[in-house]
Structure 1
Amino acid sequence: MSAVGLAPEVPVLVLAPSDRAPAQARRFLAERFRQLKIADDYVGRLVVTELVTNAYKHVGAGCIVVRIVPDGRGVLVEVWDEGPQLPVLKQLDVEETSGRGLMMMAALVEDWGVRLLDEPGKIVWASWACGKAGS
């Protein structure tokens, strides 16, 4: 009988939906990037802040789960929440004082989207290439 390799465990962060959640998610991302030896976490911090902020502002109940997964050429950030509301890229309105975060995030990452689930909720994700420290 041959041994079957299991996928490595990926750490997750479980958050309460609050105004503290984005800062906790940024700290988690910074630590995860250190573990993965990814030097520049600027885009990652913006991505995780936007996705977690949207989850707590637009859902407000249940929990928020963050995963940061290396994908071979870069990183994938996933944020799960229990809400049915899908993120929407708004048209730029210079009079508005908010609503630009998703647009900024979309401009910085290579790809992003929403994965609907059989259970309540969704996963909003973003991926982009990023270099290892020293490369």
Structure 2
Amino acid sequence: MLAFKPDVEMIKVARDYVAEIAAEWPVDGYHVRVVVSELVTNAIRHARTDEIRVDAGSDGDVHAVKVWDGDGTLPVSRAPGPDAVGGRGLVIVGELVSRWGALRDVAGGKTVFAEWGVRPPKTPPQRRRPPVGGEPVIVDGWDFGAGQLLTPGDVATMFRVEPKTVTRWADGGKLASIRTLGGVRRFSRQQVEHLMFGDGVR
């Protein structure tokens, strides 16, 4: 793990540190460098923190980069206007990785992660305990915090489709989801409402 004070000169150091770890990953090295740069830059610019920690690792199937800072405010991906000078960092990250998200740490601060090679839907994903006490959980930019979770039946009712259609959307990557410890899928109300009132599910 690489730990350092917030300093723009450390962006390259962090990028090179992760690039060395990721050299054997079946992932485009340029993409890894861009993602690290964006995540560390966000932490330096926006997090009120005295320390930033960068780590990377692989379990053989999933390759991940993690950036921790001491500010518990979770990042939100927003599409900037055509004339905006900045604000595209997380949008870029989302285009280069299989999945990204952010979790607030119990001990304080947050961890923003980016993953490549996320297992296909037919393989049971790592199960997360449903958030409690209002704890926010961001996956693929969508809020899966307490009060934001929907069951497959809820989503089916909202779209007026069969639950198996919702499952097919999730398997096809059209809807982000997490699983409870019992293996039951849960969906983000935020994303579902975005799809309902936006362009819909394609």
Q: Return the TM-score normalized by structure 2.
A: 0.54
Aligned to 1:87: 75
Q: Distance in 2 between matches of 1:20 and 1:60?
A: 18
Shift of 1:60: 4.5
Gaps of 5+ in 2: 119-202
Q: Distance in 2 between matches of 1:79 and 1:98?
A: 20
- The structure 2 residue matched to 1:128, chosen from 99, 116, 120, is 116
Q: Contact 1:115–1:124 (CA<8 Å) still a contact in 2?
A: yes
Residue 28 (structure 2) pairs with residue 28 (structure 1): no
Percent identical residues = 36
Aligned to 2:163: none
- The structure 2 residue matched to 1:73, chosen from 50, 61, 75, is 61
Shift of 1:29: 1.2
Q: Distance in 1 between matches of 2:99 and 2:87?
A: 19
Q: Distance in 2 between matches of 1:96 and 1:118?
A: 35
Alignment partner of 1:47: what SS?
A: helix
Counterpart amino acid of residue 38 in structure 1: W
Aligned to 1:38: 25
Shift of 1:95: 1.1
Once the two structures are superposed, the pairs formed by residues 51-70 of structure 1 within 5 Å of their partners are: 51-70=39-58
Shift of 1:74: 3.7
Alignment partner of 2:114: what SS?
A: strand
Alignment partner of 1:62: what SS?
A: coil
Residue 92 (structure 2) pairs with residue 104 (structure 1): yes
Q: Return the TM-score normalized by structure 1.
A: 0.80
Question: What are the Cα deviations for residues 69-113 of structure 1, in whole angstroms up to 9, with x where unaligned?
Answer: 113224100000001221111123011100111101111111111
Alignment partner of 1:126: what SS?
A: strand
Q: Distance in 2 between matches of 1:127 and 1:71?
A: 11
Aligned length: 117
Q: Report runs of 4+ in structure 1 exceeding 4 Å deviation.
A: none
Gaps of 5+ in 1: 1-11, 131-135
Shift of 1:61: 2.9
Q: Contact 1:112–1:127 (CA<8 Å) still a contact in 2?
A: yes
